[in-house]
Amino acid sequence: MITLALSKGRIFEETLPLLRAAGIEVLEDPETSRKLILPTSRSDVRVVLVRATDVPTYVQYGGADVGVAGKDVLLEHGGSGLVQPLDLNIARCRMSVAVRDDFDYAAAVQQGSRIRVATKYTQVARQHFADKGVHVDLIKLYGSMELAPLTGLADAIVDLVSTGSTLKANHLVEVETIMPISSRLVVNQTALKTKVALIGPLIQAIEAAVVP
Ligand code: ATP
Ligand code: MG
């Protein structure tokens, strides 16, 4: 049996075609079902639904053998115990720095200066500002990052951006792109060895279906 950890929403939706190409149909819709374990058309494959940020944890400890997680989530998790064989090129966006449209970011990040940054992505943000030689006070948030510069909680945010329309609607501007983000297939290190007969072909079939 292979257990595959997915999060509801865009990752689930965008993973479905890849699974289908690998001959796996998920037999229930997570938007209408209350089940957290979903059967598939293959008796030896099941899907478990977990929070996006919990996918690496499930796979690391073997609660799931395989999962799909955003690079953003994987960087914060650190990736220990995980093999990342494939970039699935789905759930694409970018990790960016944004500020209020009336904030002078260039002045705020001059060498030796100090800036207050609110984010869910403290590891990435810490590294980014360290690389620039900017001292940063990080404020950990779990959502609605856009609100932080508007309320004076922070000077800047580090968040995911796709179209930029949420930023625009909140009078924020993207001032720096940190990195492109997409979702990856992650596999439990031990399961990759002990269940190679099941997981190997699954990786190959998914790889063949990835849209570059
Ligand atoms: P939760 O809703 O459980 O708090 P979440 O907000 O991280 O978790 P999603 O918004 O579904 O869950 O995001 C899941 C993943 O999809 C993210 O980790 C990221 O890799 C990617 N993602 C997030 N926002 C976007 C976006 N605007 N466009 C494309 N991909 C995105
Ligand atoms: Mg979200």
Of 95, 93, 117, 89, nearest to 105 by C-alpha is 117
Q: Is 8 near ligand 1, meaning CB less than 6 Å away?
A: no
* pLDDT for 112: 79
Q: Of ligand 1's atoms, which has the minimum distance to the CA of residue 120?
A: 7
* pLDDT for 83: 98
Domain boundaries of the chain, sorted by first residue? 2-91+182-209, 93-180
The single-letter DSSP state of residue 165 is H
Q: Of ligand 1's atoms, which has the minimum distance to the CA of residue 163?
A: 27
Q: Whose CA is nearest to atom 22 of ligand 1?
A: 91
Q: Which of 8, 90, 161, 181 to mutate to test the pocket of ligand 1 (most atoms within 8 A of CB)?
A: 181
Total-model pTM: 0.96
Encode the chain (212 residues) as per-residue pLDDT tens digits: 999 999 999 999 999 999 999 999 999 999 999 999 999 999 999 999 999 999 999 999 999 999 999 999 999 999 999 999 999 999 999 999 999 999 999 999 997 789 999 999 999 999 999 999 999 999 999 999 999 999 999 999 999 999 999 999 999 999 999 999 999 999 999 999 999 999 999 999 999 999 99
The CATH number of 2-91+182-209, from 3.40.190.10, 3.10.450.50, 3.30.70.360, 1.10.287.1080, is 3.40.190.10
Say whether 210 sits in a helix, a strand or coil: coil
Query: What CATH number belongs to 93-180?
Result: 3.40.190.10
* pLDDT for 124: 98
Q: Is 145 near ligand 1, meaning CB less than 6 Å away?
A: no
How far, in Å, from the CA of 49 to the mean position of ligand 1? 14
pLDDT digits 0-9 by tens, 66-123: 999 999 999 999 999 999 999 999 999 999 999 999 999 999 999 778 999 999 999 9
Phi, psi (degrees; rounded to nearest 5) at 77: -70, -40
Q: Whose CA is nearest to atom 3 of ligand 1?
A: 51
CA distance 156 to 150: 10
Ligand nearest, relative to CA of residue 120: 1
* pLDDT for 111: 76
183-202 exposure pattern, b = at least 16 Cβ within 10 A, e = fewer: bbbbbbeebbeebeebbeeb
Q: Of ligand 1's atoms, which has the minimum distance to the CA of residue 160?
A: 24
Q: Do domains 2-91+182-209 and 93-180 have the same CATH topology?
A: yes
* pLDDT for 69: 99
* pLDDT for 113: 87
Q: Is 75 near ligand 1, meaning CB less than 6 Å away?
A: no
